[in-house]
Structure 1
Amino acid sequence: MKSPLSSRRTDLLAAGAAAVTVVLWASAFVSIRSAGSAYSPGALALGRLLAGALVLGLICLLRGEGLPPRAAWPGVVVSGLLWFGLYMVVLNWGEQKVDAGTAALVVNVGPLVMALLAGWLLKEGLPPRLLAGMAVSFAGAAVVGLSMSGEGSASVLGVLLCLLAAVAYAGGVVAQKPALRHGSPLQVTTFGCAIGAVACLPFAGQLVSEAGDAPLSATLNMLYLGVFPTALAFTTWAFALARTTAGKMGATTYAVPALVVLMSWLALDEVPGWVTLVGGLVCLAGVAVSRSRPRERAVTTTAVTATAAAPEESPEPQPEQA
């Protein structure tokens, strides 16, 4: 049984890993904007996955980590196909059809689907604080999405593609969670990324053709996507997921829209309106609620129980007076 200090340390490490993931995934939106202007959805996904798989493979070799155990492979394969493969392609495609705000709003259905699937398939349950936090964050994400949406810029196809991306993302995370019981986060991420890259090989011709014409900045952004938001962020995600529930990890990603607003403000000089800023703060508040714990009342409860259960002390019998 873990001591309270050890449990607290594990929680802090998982929270730190989740924070790294969220920041890097938010930065990916800025890079995708640049790379997506020169690369088609499938080519961008393949280039990103190849760069990520190469970096992860080298780290695995240096650390001496081999293949994941046999029991981990079903989850690795499913998450590789759904999350690393399908999700990246359809999200890149969807963002060519709708504006960033609409895409963020639709993709944020993913954590809700994830929590429901995890509660059903992984028996994680649906704690009230998690549901309340997700509801608050989803409301914030909706405010951010609607405030950033341009009139008439969304297409039905684009919305459907983003919705498919959200479902693929949720299914991939739920499949990955059991694999982490058998394989290390690095193993599960490395081979999931490699499987996603293999699934995207039909786009190899497009990648080679477009790489010759793409500006250097677009190619560098594609490589950045592979090394940091993919190789590093997916590994820190797996590390955190192995130490908490899929529902809580999904709720944490609601902080991404708020960070995207801030990064766009700083990197692209896109000053957000007050409504967008408020929506971002609501997203962060919902994450805080979903990851909070009920106030500890164990000591009080134990004391009350002990008092109620203790029999009344009877006075010791006194010797009879002669």
Structure 2
Amino acid sequence: MNTDTKQPAWLPMAAYLAVCIIWGSTYLAISFAVKTLPPLLMVGLRFTVAGSLLLGWCLLRGERLPGAKTLIQSAITGFLLLFIGNGGVSWAEVNLASGLAAIIVAALPLWMVLFDKTHWQESFSSAKVIFGLLLGFAGVVFLVTVGGDAIHFSLRNTAQLSAFLVLIVATMSWAAGSIYSKRNPVPGSTFIKVSLQMLSAGLGLLLASVLVGDWSRISWHNVSNSSWTGLVYLIIFGSLVGYLSYIYVLSVWPAARVGTYAYVNPVVAVFLGAFIGSEPMSLWHFVGLAIILTGVMLVNSKQFGKGRISPTLAARKT
């Protein structure tokens, strides 16, 4: 993206706010979309369409498809980040409120530290990082135990417990995919690689939806307007506008400053879920979120102090 030409002074802030609001709102959009669309089918359509649009735009600009190595790496990254990561979030939101899902996903950087073996010595020699990890995970446990009744969640509810466990696996997969992508750089433009990640994950999810019988069970005329609206919003805003805004603001602002969007997203998700989705919102949501984000801030304190962004914060791209 060319940033040499003079840009309006308000544009970077507008792009940053777009990332904060759009990516925070995707949790609610997912909850609307999976009301009457099977989750695997829904997220498969989302990434297949978004990936096709982005790839077509890249090819129209004269970019060329990369070699086999980039294709394979993009497919693996797409599987970890989008197939398991976003697919898991979408599946979990059938039984979990969108605001609660966003708060649990906010613990993503904690998993990153646990999986980033190359930095274990540095991370686990820091009392601040260790305390941040313990505090952040304690926030998740606190939220789903002490705060359970207030947030309409129960570990005794089999469907909710399964959704919670799938959401944890999805978050872990995001962390693993982030590390894999960072440790295995390959040639090719960012937009091409992301489009291939979306397409590989989207097609894989559509195949998975066939295997679990979604296509045979779905009644298309019973799909609600709110589900279609949620899907279209996820394609256009969540996967395209939000990502392009992120890439732009990252090119003109310090990475650590851009990375603060990850602290805003769950707050946006909770408020939108309450005021638009009629989801529960209580003090316990914000106590749990405050504990988790305090842990995340402690874990990421070194990266922010050096003006860098945690690879995990950069992983939430679509």
Normalising to structure 1: TM-score of the pair? 0.68
Equivalent pair of 1:136/1:282 in contact (CA under 8 Å): yes
Post-superposition CA distance 1:114-144 (Å, at most 9, x none): 2332x32588953856666666555555555
**1:1-12 counterparts in 2 under 5 A?**
none
Matched residue, 2:195: 190
Aligned length: 283
Equivalent pair of 1:264/1:270 in contact (CA under 8 Å): yes
**Other structure's SS at 2:94 match:** coil
> In structure 2, which of residues 247, 251, 267 is the aligned counterpart of residue 258 of structure 1?
267
Judging changes above 3 Å, is the alpha-carbon distance between structure 1 residues 96 and 265 closer, same or farther for their aligned structure 2 residues? closer
Post-superposition CA distance 1:207-262 (Å, at most 9, x none): 59443321222112111112222234455667889999x99999963543222112
Matched residue, 1:75: 73
Q: Structure 2: state its 5+ residue gaps.
A: 1-10, 308-318
Equivalent pair of 1:83/1:173 in contact (CA under 8 Å): yes
Judging changes above 3 Å, is the alpha-carbon distance between structure 1 residues 183 and 42 closer, same or farther for their aligned structure 2 residues? same
Aligned residue type for 1:162: L
TM-superposed deviation, 1:35? 1.3
**1:113-152 counterparts in 2 under 5 A?**
113-117=111-115, 119-120=116-117, 125-126=122-123, 128=126, 138=137, 146=147, 147-151=150-154, 152=156
Matched residue, 1:84: 82
TM-superposed deviation, 1:78? 0.8
Matched residue, 2:235: 226
**Other structure's SS at 2:188 match:** coil
Matched residue, 2:40: 42
Matched residue, 2:304: 292
In our comparison, the structure showing a higher alpha carbon Rg is: 1
* In 2: Cα distance, 1:78 partner to 1:123 partner: 24
**1:134-213 counterparts in 2 under 5 A?**
138=137, 146=147, 147-151=150-154, 152-153=156-157, 155=159, 156-178=161-183, 182-202=187-207, 203=209, 206=214, 209-213=218-222
Higher relative contact order structure (alpha carbons within 8 Å, sequence separation ≥ 6): 2
Judging changes above 3 Å, is the alpha-carbon distance between structure 1 residues 231 and 270 closer, same or farther for their aligned structure 2 residues? same
| Identity within the alignment, % | 21
Post-superposition CA distance 1:8-65 (Å, at most 9, x none): xxxxx99997775453332111112211110112111112112311331232133322
Matched residue, 1:302: none
Matched residue, 1:5: none
TM-superposed deviation, 1:199? 0.8
Higher mean C-alpha deviation, range 211-220 or range 139-148: 139-148
**Other structure's SS at 2:77 match:** helix
Judging changes above 3 Å, is the alpha-carbon distance between structure 1 residues 106 and 269 closer, same or farther for their aligned structure 2 residues? closer
Alpha-carbon RMSD: 4.4
Q: Structure 1: state its 5+ residue gaps.
A: 1-12, 296-322
